[in-house]
Structure 1
Amino acid sequence: MSRLINTEPPSKRRNKAAREIVLCIRTAASCQDQDQLLDLMAHIASSLEIIEGCIEQSVTAWEKRNYWVKADRYRMKWEWVQPAFEAVISYLESKGGAGNIPVETLLEIAEELGGITISPNHRMGKPWTGAYSIWQLRSIS
């Protein structure tokens, strides 16, 4: 079996995931459907997981080159990702527990990603469609 080579740099994957998170938060603000809200939160969780993986990949490359200060600063800049991921996961594990959306977490994420702008005519579609069922399948195995 041949090796799988990912040609996208971590920064591109991280930026795409961050844009999708901002779009999900925007949509969640006006969402009334519980199933769609679970999909949105599951997609936010998977995007936060992608961001965390990209951060570690970037930091590992810098540490190999002895750029420890740069790596530490980068980790500190993105240290909010893990607690936000855990809060979203706890919401998903309670299956939306009586509609208690982790509003504080979403506000913190929105604040951290505040510099990202998405035009109303974006071409991202609805990347969260079916994300909760995929998350359930992944958590079972």
Structure 2
Amino acid sequence: MAAELVYCLRAIDDGIEASAGAWEKRDYWIKAEQLRQRWVWTSSASARLENMIRTGVWENLPEILVSMVEHFADIKITKLTRKSSEWAGAYQELLADLEQQGK
């Protein structure tokens, strides 16, 4: 699950930059910058999780997750929508990605 969270945070980060770019093309510079500032934490959070997984320091997981709570506090989940098959294999995939990157 933690590895899948790394991939999800990366996808959010990529999506924010694409959305901000679209705002900039329309000369909405302030909106673009506000969007980036609101979601700037995703890159560092995914990096922290990735480092924790790579080094195997799993005792840091609660601290990392707690640091993200404030960003999701206003989201109400009424029903779990993801199946466990969506994160199955994500750990092995992330380790393989890290190995390819030489990390």
- Residue 74 of structure 2 aligns to a residue whose secondary structure is coil
Q: State the match for 2:43 in structure 1.
A: 82
Gaps of 5+ in 2: none
What TM-score, normalized to structure 1?
Answer: 0.64
Tell me whether 1:70 sits opposite 2:31 in the alignment: yes
Percent identity of paired positions between Structure 1 and Structure 2: 29
8 Å contact 1:87–1:102 — kept in the other structure?
no
Q: State the match for 2:90 in structure 1.
A: 131
What TM-score, normalized to structure 2?
Answer: 0.85
Q: 1: CA distance between counterparts of 2:31 and 2:98? A: 34
Q: 2: CA distance between counterparts of 1:79 and 1:41? A: 19
Write the mapping of 1:19-98 to structure 2, written as runs, cut at 5 A.
40-94=1-55, 96-97=56-57
More helix by share: 2
- Equivalent pairs counted in the alignment come to 99
8 Å contact 2:54–2:95 — kept in the other structure?
no
Q: Which aligned runs of 4 or more in structure 1 are off by greater than 6 angstroms?
A: none
Q: State the match for 1:20 in structure 2.
A: none
Gaps of 5+ in 1: 1-39
